[in-house]
C-alpha cells in the first residue's frame, strides 16, 4: 500500500496471535448460550437431550466452522460473511448477509444483556437486597404485569402459578428489563467512547471464564464417579421424544456463533492464512467439549430426594427455565450463597464481555453497509472526537434495547434463527467460491471431503430453523420480518445507490518493505507535528554514529468498531499536521515514512519493532504523564517495558549543541548505553560528559573503575569524560541539584515490569518528572538466555 | 492386617457397586444406549475433523500470483 507520490507507506498493525483470536471467539461463544440454554433445553429435551443438544450442535458448528476456515484462509480480510457473500454472489447477496449479520449480532447483544440482568437480579433477590424495590415499586410492577398479562405476553414469563407464589418470579420482570436496558446503554456508551479493549486483555478475561466452566465440568465428573447413583438423573433419557432435540438445538445454536468474529479479525491477525482457520476450528472443539461437560454436570448436580428436590431433577431444573443452570450448579457448592456468588460472577463476566463484543460486531456490520451505501451514508459517519461510527452504533443500540424487552428464550431463538440463516448462506458461498475461483485463490486450508460437510450443514440448518417454531413462535415473526424488511430496503433504496467496494483481495499484491544496505535500523515514533523536526534532527546524530537506516513511524489508533482496513479512509481526519510534517521531512533526510493503523499505540509500536527487526526506537516525550499511575505516560511506559530493542526517549531536545552532559550512573547496562548516547550527541569540540553516582549506606559503587573501562570502549579522553561521586541519602534531590549546572541529563531507565512500576516511581522516573531542562532517558535491550545460547 | 483386609474388602464392594450401577444405567434404557452412541461418536467426529483440518492447514497451495488481477476483475464485475 505505497503511495508513490507522497512517499508515505500505510500499514495495518497485526497484533493478535493464535491464542488471542481463539480466545476472542471463545469469549463471544461463552456469553450466555450455555447459561440460559441448559435450563431452557432441559424442559423440552429432557436430561439426556440437553447433553445431546450441545454435542450435535457442536457437530453442526464444526461443519460451518470449516467453511469459515476455508474462506477466511483464502480471503483473510475483515468483513466475514458480508465479504464472502460479495465475492461469491455479488452486491445483492452481500447486502442480505450484512443485514442478517447486523441483526443477528444485535439480537445476541440483547440476549447477553437480558442474561446479565436475570442472574444479577436473582442474586440480589436471594440476598433480600431488593426489598426496597418491592416495597416502593410493587404497585408499578403489578400494574405492568397486569398490562402484560392482558396482552397475553406474561404467560411466556411464568411457567406455573406455584412459581409465582414460591419464587415471586412475576414481581421482578419490570426490574429485570430496566437492568437489561441499563447494562446495554452502559456498553453502548463505552463503545461510543471507543475505549473497548480487545485482544490481549480480553483473552485473559475469557481464559478465566473457560477455567470456571472447565472446573464445573470436572466437578460434575468427579461427583458422578464418587456417587454413580447421580446417573439415575438421566432417567428417562429423552422424555419428550427425539424430535424435540431439533428444537433445542435451534434454540441453543446462538452459543456456537462466536467463530464468526474470528473471521472478522483478518486484518489484525498475525499470519492470518494459518491462524484464522486454526482458531476457528479450535474454538469450536474447545467450546463443544466444555458445553457437553457443563450440561452433564448440571444434570448430575443434585440428587432426587435431597437438598429439597422432591421431583425428578430434570423437571426441577426446568422449573427455573433460563436460571436453571445457576440453581443447579449452586447446589454443587458447599454453601448455597457461595455457589450463587461464583455463578453470578461468572455470568456477569461472560455476558458483559460478550455484550461488548456483539455491540462492536453489530456496529461494524451496519457501518460497512453504510460505507458501501447499501444503507444511508450517515451509517458510516465517524465521530470527530472519538472516531467511532456513532449513527451505526445508535441504530444497533435501538435494536438491542427493543429486543431486550422480549422474554429471554424468544430473544435466544430469534438470535439463533438469524445466525442459522447467515451460516446457511456462508455454506453456499464456500461451494460457489471454490467452484468459481478454486484454482485462483490462495487457500491456506481446504475442507476435506468437499462438498460433503457444507452440504450436510445446508440440509440441517433449515431443519433447525423449522423446528424453532416449537420453542418460540415469536422468533418466526421477528426474524422473517427482518429479512422481508431487508429485501424491501435493498430493492427500494440500496440497489441504485450501492458503491462497488475496492478490491477485496488486494492483500495478495501487498508490497513487502524493501531492506536497505545498512544493517542497523532505527525507528522514530512521531505523534506531535511540532516536535517532529527536532526529533529527526537529533536522530540523525545517532544515525551517523551507527550508520543506520531510519524509518519515521506514526501510529493511528483505530476504534474497534472500524475495521483497520477502512481506517485509512476515515481516521486520518485531524492528523493532517503530522502527515504534512512527515512529507516535509522525507526529502530532507534519507528516511522512509510509514503510517500504521493499530488498536493500541504502545502495542502497535512494539509489534512494528518485532516485525521490522528494529535495533533502536526513538520517541519524544512531552514531559508529564496525564494519568497518575503511569511514570512517563500510558504509551511510553509499556513501550519501555516490552520493546525488544534499545529505546531512547527525548524531552525538549531541540536542535541544540550540548556542551555539558550529566549522566547518572548506577553500573547497569543502561548506564553504559546512556554514556554511549551522551558521546554521540556531545559537542565534539568543547563538550564534556560528567558521570555521576550517589553513594550511601545502601549503595556503594566504584565509579572510577567503571569510567576507566568505558573510556577505553568509547574512545574518550580524560578531559571529555569525568567522574563525580556524591555521598547522600537523598539520591533524587542530589542528582537534581547537580543537574542544574548542565545542559542535559541522560538517564538509564530501570528494569521493572509495568505492574511493579505502578506501585511507585523509580529514581530515574522521579528525576525525569521533576527535571525542567532537556532530558534523555534510555533503555538498552536485555540479552535473553536464548540469545546467549545462540551466540557462537 | 485385619483392618487392612476389611478396608480392601469394603473397597472392592464399593467398586462392584459402582460398576453394577453403571451397567444397569446403560442397559436399562434403549434411548440411553442410542444417546450414548451419538454422544461419543459426535465428539469423536468433531475432534477427528479438527485435528485432520489443522494438520492440513498450509499444506495446500493452488495459488498462482498471475491470476490475482483476474480474480479482482471477477469480483468487480459481480459488484457492479
Cβ–Cβ under 8 Å, residues A266 and A272? yes
ipTM score of complex: 0.72
Grid cell for residue A467: 423446528
DSSP summary character for residue A493: I
Is B61–A52 a contact, with Cβ atoms under 8 angstroms apart? no
Of the CA atoms within 13 Å of residue A630, those in its CB half-sphere come to 15
Q: Give the domain CATH number at A748.
A: 3.40.50.620
Which residues have C-beta within 8 Å of that of residue A418, sequence separation ≥ 6? A100, A103, A104, A107, A479, A482
Cβ–Cβ under 8 Å, residues A775 and A747? yes
Q: Is the dihedral of CA A562, A567, A569, A573 positive or negative?
A: positive
Q: Which alpha helices (H) appear in A512-573, and where do they start and end?
A: 532-546, 564-570
Q: Which structural domain range is residue A746 located in?
A: 656-792
Grid cell for residue B18: 459402582
Of the CA atoms within 13 Å of residue A352, those in its CB half-sphere come to 20
Grid cell for residue A677: 548516547
Phi first, then psi: give them for residue A597, nearest 5 degrees.
-95, 135
Say if A750 falls within a structural domain: yes
Say if A421 falls within a structural domain: yes
Q: How many CB pairs under 8 A join A and B?
A: 146
The percentage of residues in chain B with a pLDDT greater than 90, rounded to a whole number, is: 18
- What is the per-residue pLDDT for A460? 94
3-state secondary structure A30-47: CCCHHHHHHHHHHHHHHH
Say if A622 falls within a structural domain: no
Q: Is B55 on the interface with A (CB under 8 A)?
A: no
Q: How far apart are CA A367 and CA A394, in angstroms?
A: 11
- What is the per-residue pLDDT for B10? 62
- What is the per-residue pLDDT for A589? 64
Torsion on CA atoms A617, A623, A629, A630, rounded to nearest 10: 0
Say if A591 falls within a structural domain: no
Beta strands A646-651; A549-557: pairing state: unpaired
Say if A486 falls within a structural domain: yes
Q: How far apart are CA A743 and CA A651, in angstroms?
A: 12
- What is the per-residue pLDDT for A786? 42
Q: Whole-prediction pTM value?
A: 0.74
Which among A86, A232, A282 is the nearest to B50, CB-wise?
Answer: A282
Indicate whether B45 pLDDT > 60: yes
- Distances from the Cα of A511 to the Cα of A3, A444, A589, B62, B70, angstroms: 11, 20, 23, 21, 19
Which residues have C-beta within 8 Å of that of residue B7, sequence separation ≥ 6? none
Helix (H, G, I), strand (E, B) or coil at A726: strand
Q: How far apart are CA A1 and CA A519, in angstroms?
A: 24
Per-residue pLDDT tens over the stretch B55-67:
888 665 444 444 5
CA angle A690, A692, A695 (to 5 degrees): 160
Helix (H, G, I), strand (E, B) or coil at A722: strand
Beta strands A744-748; A660-664: pairing state: parallel
Helix (H, G, I), strand (E, B) or coil at A776: strand
Q: Which is nearest to A266 in space by CA: A12, A96, A533, A93?
A: A12
Is A508–B49 a contact, with Cβ atoms under 8 angstroms apart? no
Grid cell for residue A345: 460472577
Cβ–Cβ under 8 Å, residues A652 and A775? yes
Of the CA atoms within 13 Å of residue A495, those in its CB half-sphere come to 9
Contacts of A90 in chain B (CB under 8 A): 78-79
Domain's final residue, options A497, A519, A548: A497
Q: Rounded to a whole number, what is the distance in Å from the CA of B67 to chain A's nearest CA?
A: 6
Q: Rounded to a whole number, what is the distance in Å from the CA of B12 to chain A's nearest CA?
A: 14
Q: Rounded to a whole number, what is the distance in Å from the CA of B9 to chain A's nearest CA?
A: 17
Is B57–A444 a contact, with Cβ atoms under 8 angstroms apart? yes
- What is the per-residue pLDDT for B5? 53
Q: How confident is the model at residue B12 (pLDDT cuts 50, 70, 90)?
A: low
Grid cell for residue A591: 528516511
- What is the per-residue pLDDT for A503? 45
Rounded to an integer, what is the distance from CA A51 to the centroid of its chain?
30
Say if A410 falls within a structural domain: yes
B46 to chain A: closest CA residue = A59
Domain's final residue, options A497, A532, A548: A497
Q: Is B49 on the interface with A (CB under 8 A)?
A: yes
- What is the per-residue pLDDT for A4? 42
Q: Which residues does residue A662 pair with via DSSP β-bridges, in sequence order?
A: A690, A745
Q: Is B70 on the interface with A (CB under 8 A)?
A: yes
Q: Give the domain CATH number at A489.
A: 1.20.1740.10
- What is the per-residue pLDDT for A504? 42
Q: Is B66 on the interface with A (CB under 8 A)?
A: no
Contacts of A66 in chain B (CB under 8 A): 49, 53
- Average pLDDT across each block of 10 residues of chain A; the chain has 792 residues. List them in order: 52 78 87 82 90 94 93 80 87 91 93 90 82 71 63 49 43 82 92 63 76 90 87 86 90 89 81 88 94 93 82 88 84 77 85 86 88 88 82 94 87 92 94 81 84 94 92 90 94 82 42 52 81 74 78 80 70 65 66 78 84 86 67 80 86 77 83 86 82 81 82 78 85 86 84 52 78 86 50 35
Which residues have C-beta within 8 Å of that of residue A491, sequence separation ≥ 6? none
Say if A782 falls within a structural domain: yes
Residue with cell 486454526: A278
Say if A575 falls within a structural domain: no
Domain's final residue, options A447, A466, A497: A497
Cβ–Cβ under 8 Å, residues A498 and A373? yes
Indicate whether B68 pLDDT > 80: no
Average confidence score pLDDT of chain B: 69
- The domain total for chain A is 2
Is B42–A442 a contact, with Cβ atoms under 8 angstroms apart? no
Is A503–B72 a contact, with Cβ atoms under 8 angstroms apart? yes
Amino acid at each position: 500500500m505505497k503511495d508513490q507520490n507522497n512517499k508515505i507507506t500505510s500499514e495495518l498493525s497485526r497484533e493478535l496471535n493464535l491464542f488471542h483470536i481463539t480466545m476472542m471467539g471463545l469469549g463471544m461463544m461463552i456469553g450466555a448460550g450455555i447459561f440460559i440454554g441448559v435450563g431452557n433445553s432441559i424442559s423440552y429435551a429432557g436430561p439426556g437431550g440437553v447433553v445431546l443438544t450441545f454435542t450435535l450442535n457442536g457437530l453442526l458448528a464444526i461443519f460451518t466452522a470449516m467453511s469459515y476456515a476455508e474462506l477466511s484462509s483464502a480471503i483473510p480480510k475483515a468483513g466475514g460473511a458480508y465479504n464472502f457473500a460479495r465475492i461469491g454472489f455479488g452486491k445483492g447477496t452481500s447486502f442480505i448477509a450484512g443485514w442478517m449479520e447486523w441483526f443477528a449480532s444485535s439480537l445476541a447483544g440483547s440476549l447477553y444483556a437480558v442474561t446479565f440482568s436475570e442472574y444479577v437480579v436473582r442474586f440480589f433477590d436471594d440476598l433480600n437486597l431488593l426489598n426496597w424495590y418491592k416495597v416502593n415499586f410493587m404497585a408499578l410492577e403489578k400494574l405492568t404485569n397486569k398490562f402484560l398479562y392482558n396482552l397475553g405476553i406474561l404467560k411466556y414469563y411464568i411457567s406455573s402459578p406455584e412459581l409465582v407464589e414460591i419464587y415471586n418470579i412475576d414481581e421482578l420482570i419490570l426490574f429485570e428489563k430496566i437492568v437489561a436496558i441499563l447494562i446495554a446503554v452502559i456498553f453502548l456508551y463505552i463503545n461510543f467512547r471507543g475505549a473497548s479493549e480487545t485482544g490481549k486483555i480480553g483473552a485473559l478475561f475469557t481464559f478465566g471464564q473457560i477455567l470456571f466452566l472447565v472446573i464445573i465440568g470436572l466437578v460434575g465428573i468427579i461427583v458422578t464417579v464418587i456417587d454413580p447413583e447421580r446417573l439415575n438423573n438421566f432417567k428417562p433419557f429423552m422424555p419428550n421424544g427425539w424430535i424435540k432435540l431439533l428444537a433445542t438445538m435451534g434454540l441453543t445454536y446462538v452459543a456456537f456463533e462466536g467463530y464468526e468474529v474470528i473471521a472478522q479479525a483478518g486484518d489484525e491477525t498475525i499470519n492470518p492464512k494459518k491462524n484464522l482457520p486454526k482458531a476457528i476450528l479450535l474454538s469450536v472443539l474447545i467450546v463443544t467439549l466444555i458445553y457437553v461437560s457443563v450440561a452433564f454436570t448440571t444434570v448430575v448436580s443434585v440428587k432426587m430426594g435431597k437438598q429439597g428436590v422432591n421431583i425428578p431433577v430434570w423437571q426441577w431444573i426446568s422449573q427455573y427455565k433460563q436460571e436453571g443452570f445457576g440453581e443447579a450448579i449452586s447446589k454443587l457448592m458447599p454453601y448455597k450463597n457461595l455457589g450463587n456468588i461464583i455463578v453470578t460472577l461468572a455470568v456477569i463476566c461472560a455476558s458483559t464481555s460478550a455484550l461488548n463484543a456483539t455491540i462492536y460486531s453489530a456496529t461494524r456490520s451496519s457501518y460497512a453497509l453504510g460505507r458501501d451505501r447499501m444503507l444511508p451514508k450517515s451509517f458510516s459517519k465517524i465521530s470527530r472526537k472519538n472516531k467511532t461510527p456513532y449513527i451505526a452504533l445508535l441504530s444497533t443500540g435501538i435494536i438491542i434495547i427493543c429486543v431486550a424487552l422480549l422474554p429471554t428464550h424468544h430473544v435466544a431463538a430469534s438470535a439463533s434463527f438469524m445466525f442459522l440463516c447467515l451460516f446457511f448462506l456462508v455454506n453456499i458461498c464456500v461451494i460457489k467460491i471454490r467452484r468459481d475461483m478454486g484454482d485462483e485463490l490462495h487457500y491456506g486450508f481446504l475442507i476435506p471431503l468437499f462438498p460433503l460437510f457444507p452440504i450436510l450443514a445446508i440440509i440441517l440448518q433449515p431443519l433447525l430453523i423449522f423446528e424453532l417454531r416449537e420453542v418460540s413462535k415469536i422468533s418466526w415473526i421477528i426474524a422473517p420480518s427482518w429479512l422481508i424488511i431487508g429485501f424491501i430496503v435493498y430493492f427500494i433504496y440500496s440497489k441504485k445507490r450501492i458503491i462497488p467496494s475496492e478490491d477485496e483481495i488486494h492483500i495478495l499484491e501487498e508490497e513487502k518493505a524493501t531492506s536497505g544496505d545498512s544493517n542497523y535500523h532505527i525507528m522514530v515514533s512521531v505523534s506531535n507535528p511540532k516536535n517532529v523536526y527536532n526529533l529527526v534532527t537529533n536522530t540523525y546524530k545517532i544515525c551517523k554514529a551507527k550508520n543506520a537506516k531510519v524509518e519515521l513511524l506514526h501510529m493511528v489508533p483505530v476504534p474497534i468498531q472500524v475495521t483497520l482496513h477502512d481506517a485509512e479512509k476515515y481516521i486520518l481526519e485531524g492528523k493532517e499536521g503530522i502527515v504534512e510534517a512527515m512529507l516535509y521531512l522525507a526529502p530532507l533526510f534519507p528516511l522512509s515514512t510509514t503510517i500504521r493503523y493499530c488498536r493500541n499505540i504502545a502495542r502497535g509500536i512494539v509489534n512494528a519493532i518485532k516485525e521490522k527487526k528494529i535495533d533502536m526506537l526513538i520517541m519524544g516525550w512531552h514531559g508529564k504523564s496525564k494519568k497518575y499511575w503511569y511514570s512517563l505516560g500510558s504509551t511510553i511506559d509499556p513501550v519501555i517495558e516490552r520493546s525488544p530493542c534499545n529505546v531512547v526517549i527525548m524531552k525538549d531536545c531541540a536542535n541544540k549543541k550540548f556542551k555539558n552532559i550529566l549522566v547518572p550512573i548506577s553500573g547497569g547496562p543502561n548506564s553504559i548505553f546512556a554514556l554511549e548516547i551522551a558521546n554521540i550527541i556531545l559537542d565534539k569540540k568543547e563538550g564534556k560528559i560528567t558521570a555521576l553516582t550517589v553513594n550511601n549506606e545502601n549503595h556503594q559503587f566504584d565509579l572510577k573503575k567503571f569510567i576507566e573501562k568505558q573510556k577505553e570502549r568509547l574512545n574518550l579522553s580524560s578531559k571529555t569524560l569525568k567522574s563525580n561521586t556524591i555521598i547522600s541519602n537523598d539520591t533524587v534531590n542530589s542528582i537534581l541539584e547537580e543537574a542544574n549546572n548542565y545542559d542535559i541529563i541522560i538517564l538509564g531507565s530501570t528494569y521493572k515490569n509495568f505492574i511493579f512500576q505502578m506501585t511507585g516511581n523509580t529514581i530515574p522516573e522521579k528525576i525525569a518528572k521533576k527535571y525542567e531542562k532537556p532530558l534523555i532517558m534510555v533503555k538498552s535491550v536485555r540479552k535473553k538466555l536464548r540469545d546467549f545460547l545462540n551466540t557462537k | 492386617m485385619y483392618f487392612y483386609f476389611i478396608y480392601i474388602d469394603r473397597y472392592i464392594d464399593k467398586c462392584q457397586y459402582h460398576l453394577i450401577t453403571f451397567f444397569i444405567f446403560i442397559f436399562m434404557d434403549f434411548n440411553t444406549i442410542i444417546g450414548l452412541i451419538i454422544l461419543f461418536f459426535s465428539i469423536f467426529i468433531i475432534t477427528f475433523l479438527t485435528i485432520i483440518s489443522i494438520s492440513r492447514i498450509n499444506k495446500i497451495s493452488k495459488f498462482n500470483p498471475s491470476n490475482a488481477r483476474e480474480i479482482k476483475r471477477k469480483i468487480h464485475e459481480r459488484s457492479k
